[in-house]
Amino acid sequence: MHDFSYHGGILHCGDVRLDRIAREVGTPFYCYSMPTLVRHIEAFEEPYKAIDHQTCFAMKANSNLAILSLMTRYGLGADVVSGGELYKATKAGIPADKIVYSGVGKTTEEIDMAISAGIMMFNIESQQELEVINARAGELGRKAPISIRVNPDVDPRTHPYISTGLRSHKFGIDIEASTTQYLRAREMDHIEIVGIDCHIGSQLTEVRPFIDAVERLKILIEELAQRGIVFRYLDLGGGLGITYSDEQPPHPREYGKAIIDTVSGLGMTLIFEPGRVIVGNAGILVTRVLYRKETPEKTFIVVDAGMNDLIRPALYGAYHEILPVERKAPETRTEKADVVGPICESSDFLAKDRDLPVLARGDLIAVMSAGAYGFTMSSNYNSRPRPPEVLVDGDAYSVIFKRQTYEDLVAGEMIPDTLR
């Protein structure tokens, strides 16, 4: 459910016309609905209100400070995968003891930063990482709280690029080897074992893979308990999908009931790391048609947003619904067209072979379901300034990230004297 709808033939976010925002901030721009974000947070949290848990928003999906501040208001923590995300999380007011640090490539500087901040725990991805964190905690005179990210070898049935739970993936430690790593961790002077972690992928549309992963973890938890290793936290990661086209992902209530039933009796605090399910359908990308280009084979709608602004279609072949900001009359002719951007790559497209109303130069279109992995994956490729982000609440909007300027593009760059 989202807050984007037509009124008087014009697509609105809440009570704000999107063509008004386009006039005032220019295109392209990202637009988020605050009421939708709140509804999604509450829908995710509702199933767990009676149990001990902590939801840590996956910042990789959307790391704008205003969005993070909203998460803080509702008691959410953060799942971070870089020093930059850790910095932004604390800048937004998220308490360090509600931050989980994931990711396979933590640097020494990032590890030190996280230990000094006092985060909830590191999710360990390799034996060598465990050794480095132990050494750094020793140097800092601290104990580092850790869980091991267990790779359960469960097929999440999602796109291979966002699947993370199979034995062939770079993530986590194989479930068969995890016992050995936990026993090693127990012998380390500067490591505190606090949890066990699992994350099998993103955009999952079935509950079954989650349950299969938890069932495998339960066996490992029991085995380790017999060896004297008892956990405080069970981190089940994120990955719950959303509807982009015709997917039918489980409602958070269904997912929550299945998880609670499966972990019943373990006596552990559950940690969740949702991202897409909260922000995905709460945001869109609005772009303007620059040109129509017709060839004997294709009709191209060239817009001012490119793969540098939204890379998911180019990277995954991902589907995003395309809606005209000004709704065409029912009898308006439609055509099959590719929606493409200005980037010098053949992969620069937002939609291919899509049935659309006939669009003309100057028309505005909305690329739906772009709140997750949209702006966070954007870049300055082709020296294009990154677009602004706008947050709408009722009949008002705020710019929460200013459009970059050309000056921003060269900030930090220097020409050495030898070239002058």
Cβ atoms of residues 54 and 72 within 8 Å: no
Out of 13, 31, 56, 344, the active site residue is 344
Q: Is 198 a catalytic residue?
A: no
SS3 readout for the chain:
CCCEEEECCEEEECCEEHHHHHHHHCCCEEEEEHHHHHHHHHHHHHHHCCCCEEEEEECCCCCCHHHHHHHHHCCCEEEECCHHHHHHHHHCCCCHHHEEECCCCCCHHHHHHHHHHCCCEEEECCHHHHHHHHHHHHHCCCCEEEEEEEECCCCCCCCHHHECCCCCCCCCEEHHHHHHHHHHHHCCCCEEEEEEECCCECCECCCHHHHHHHHHHHHHHHHHHHCCCCCCEEECCCCECCCCCCCCCCCHHHHHHHHHHHHCCCCCEEEECCCHHHHHHHEEEEEEEEEEEECCCCEEEEECCCCCCCCHHHHHCCCCCEEECECCCCCCCEEEEEEECCCCCCCCEEEEEEEEECCCCCCEEEECCCCCCCHHHCCCHHHCCCCCEEEEECCEEEEEECCCCHHHHHCCCCCCHHHC
**Which residues are catalytically annotated?**
344
